Amino acid sequence: MNEETRLRILQKGAEIVHRKGFNHTGIKDILKAAQVPKGSFYYYFESKEDFGLELVEFFARTLGECAGYVLSDQLLSPMQRILRHVDLIIGTAEANGFAKGCPIGNLSQEMGDLSEAFRLKLEGVTARYIERVAAVIEEGQRMGEIRADLDPGHAGRFIVEALQGASIHMKLAKGPEPLETCREMIRLFLQP
Amino acid sequence: MNEETRLRILQKGAEIVHRKGFNHTGIKDILKAAQVPKGSFYYYFESKEDFGLELVEFFARTLGECAGYVLSDQLLSPMQRILRHVDLIIGTAEANGFAKGCPIGNLSQEMGDLSEAFRLKLEGVTARYIERVAAVIEEGQRMGEIRADLDPGHAGRFIVEALQGASIHMKLAKGPEPLETCREMIRLFLQP
């Protein structure tokens, strides 16, 4: 097995699935984009679902390295980390022409009811995301920068939900306004 | 044209699209569920997209009559109206086995980038929803029941986004917890 080819299929597949959705994406389209011979898909992945599950991890890793890394940036205060995280999401959205949205939110919406394997994988990835935000909220509460009456896990989930919803509204608006509004509301929600 | 048949196609189509998504739903499946002869779809709808656009209005009307009507219930205070609205969403979610989610959010996510006609239709329906919530927030602010420093339109959008995000998380959790948490966070967000 050629690991480089496998990664190229995941990268090209991620681009297409992010834009068109998982069910709407044909294996042939992915192989064509990855310039891999037709029919060799099952050499690299057991099934389309198996490919999809690896894609979820691929998306989660990429997001963690892009918009997510700032959540651990100790040079910023907890509130700054959360707002900067939203800024990075807005920057990515702009680079994508305000299309695509959150790949994890998208696949959760599309596949949550259709595949138990997808549901479990996406639930795990989403829980990790919420935990990271919750840890920042808790730190902010200890410093008095974030209101103390919020349950960090609940508030973290709420922020992730709002950001995934705003990423959907961004696709409708084709502009930054929904995410910018969301950023400001998150600030007002968190401040003491 | 038989109006009753047309409505039955929309109703059955709504059920299937709500569960499987628009692109993943075949016209044949809808006609079979609606017990309409194969091939007669184009007698009732110009195209699959035309059917989809009518479906958006159908969903919006149904939601307005179900979970949405309470937003105008003058027997409840503004805050009570918003929280009761979330309760109704939770009730519907439970009746659906914590599957499906918000049909407008789902179609916005799926179709926002793929069809300009869908995008415009969904943007209009979403804007109407946000305006209804914003009007309740404004009323609550006048009564001192909701914090005064929120822009009603922005806060209304934020709440709709969070609810659509929570409806996605509900599909992962297969339980009421994400929507219940969202309800509590909305209350804390709005209270003065």
Of the candidates B154, B168, B185, the beta carbon closest to that of A158 is on: B185
Chain B residues with CB-CB distance to A122 below 8 A: 172
**What b/e string do you get for A86-109 counting C-beta neighbours within 10 Å, with b at 16 or more?**
bbbbbebbeeeebebbbbbbbbbb
Of the candidates B105, B149, B157, the beta carbon closest to that of A178 is on: B157
Rounded CA gap, B81 and A60, in Å? 37
> Across chain A, what does the average pLDDT equal?
95
DSSP string for A76-120: S-HHHHHHHHHHHHHHHHHHTTT-S--HHHHHHHHHTTT-HHHHH
Task: Quote the minimal CA–CA distance from A181 to chain B in Å.
Answer: 6
B169 contacts A161? CB cut-off 8 A? yes
Rounded CA gap, B87 and B166, in Å? 13
Q: Which residue is listed with tokens 């929120």?
A: B150
Sign, Cα dihedral of B68, A185, A107, A101: positive
Rounded CA gap, B30 and A88, in Å? 41
Tell me the one-letter amino acid at B133: V
For the packed helices B152-173 and B177-190, what is the interaxial angle rounded to 10 degrees?
A: 160
Pick among B171, B190, B191 to test the A interface (most A CBs inside 10 A): B171
Q: What is the value of pTM for the model shown?
A: 0.95
Chain A residues with CB-CB distance to B162 below 8 A: 158, 161-162, 165
Rounded CA gap, A67 and A181, in Å? 18
Per-residue pLDDT of chain B (192 residues; tens, 9 = 90+): 688 999 999 999 999 999 999 999 999 999 999 999 877 889 999 999 999 999 999 999 999 888 889 999 999 999 999 999 999 999 999 999 999 999 999 999 999 999 999 999 999 999 999 999 999 999 999 999 999 999 999 999 999 999 999 999 999 999 999 999 999 999 999 999
